[in-house]
Amino acid sequence: MGVQEISPILEAIDLHKVFGKKKVLDGVRLNVYPGECLGIFGLRATGKTTLLHMLVGLDRPSAGLVKIMGSDIRKGDRYKALVGLVTQDKSLFQDLTVAENLDFIASLKGAPQGNITSLIAKFYLQDYLQMAVNSVDAGVFQRLALACALLNAPQLLILDEPVKDIDLYSQHLIMRIIQEFLSQGGACIYGFSNMESSQNMHKVGWLDNGRITVYEPAEALQIWDSLLHSYNNIDGEKDE
């Protein structure tokens, strides 16, 4: 049975978002299936974070709708039990320790305490439990952020730049855990701005001028390289 015969975990239908007079999203459509990682590629200020926040219900679209497991997310918050989120900005509780963050967020999500122990081991957080979150380095922070996102054993992960500017060990660990998650039937929407990361995705949604165009990763990389090449040529002609 192919992926396309299974119902999507998430459907975004004709999403629009306007801030004042600026149109940030202009009819975005996308689907994500179990076991699939959809990358949302966009440079700075293209609306990537806005889109990701809308998909998880943190922000409301000006028009359009989002369905998770077939349910419209406007009609109740039950879908949130199926979703885990890692934000681009540091959104953990800065005045709590690593252990306290795990404990508190597990309480908020109604997640069993047993999940905390297994995630601490999985993300190698044992040495950092008593440290204040605002004192750990970026790699540990992102590992903790993803651990918190997985506390409620979600079926869908929304990740906004989870490995940007962090150490290689943490990057590798996070990507490995995401792959495990996908292999167990989870789905992932992954926001990123470095095209080289696209090789980790199944599909790449290129967000530009408020619209999304979906490519295969290799295709997206090729287009990116062509663009870079064309800009280099323009610069070369100018130099001459």
Partner 1 sequence: MRNVMLFVPLLGVLLFAWLYSAQSLNAIPTAIVDLDHSRGSREFADKLTGAEKLNITAYLSTYQELQEAIAGGRIVVGVVIPKNFEQDVALGRQTRVLMIIDGSNMVYATNASAALLEVTRTVSAEAGIRTLVGSGMQLDQAREAYKPIAFREEAWFNPTMNYAYFLVLALILNIWQQCCTLASAMNVIGETGMKSWLQIKASGVSMTRLFISKSMTHIITFMLMVLPLYFLAFRVLKLPLQCNFGVLMFFTLLFVIAIHSVGTLMSSAVSNAVDASRLGMMIALPSFVLSGYTWPIDAMPPLLQSLVWIFPQTWFFQGLNYLTFKNPGGDFMLPFYAGLIVTAAVCYAISIMLQMWREKLQ
| Interacting residues toward partner 1 by CB under 8 A | 53, 56-60, 77-81, 83, 85, 87, 89-94, 105, 108-109, 148, 152
Question: Toward partner 1, which CB reaches closer, 148 or 195?
Answer: 148
Query: Residue 15 Cβ, how far from partner 1 at the closest point, in Å?
Result: 15
Query: How many CA within 13 A on the CB side of residue 87?
Result: 11
Question: Toward partner 1, which CB reaches closer, 107 or 194?
Answer: 107
Instruction: Confirm if 181 and 158 have CB atoms less than 8 A apart.
Output: no
Query: Residue 87 Cβ, how far from partner 1 at the closest point, in Å?
Result: 5
Residues facing residue 15 across a β-bridge: 28
Question: Toward partner 1, which CB reaches closer, 78 or 176?
Answer: 78
Give dist(CA 180, CA 182) in Å, integer.
5
Query: Residue 144 Cβ, how far from partner 1 at the closest point, in Å?
Result: 12
Query: Residue 53 Cβ, how far from partner 1 at the closest point, in Å?
Result: 8
Query: Residue 223 Cβ, how far from partner 1 at the closest point, in Å?
Result: 32
Give dist(CA 79, CA 70) in Å, integer.
10
Question: Toward partner 1, which CB reaches closer, 28 or 105?
Answer: 105
Question: Toward partner 1, which CB reaches closer, 54 or 195?
Answer: 54
Instruction: Confirm if 16 and 45 have CB atoms less than 8 A apart.
Output: no
Rg of the chain in Å (alpha carbons)? 19
Q: How many Cβ atoms are within 10 Å of 3's Cβ, its own excluded?
A: 11
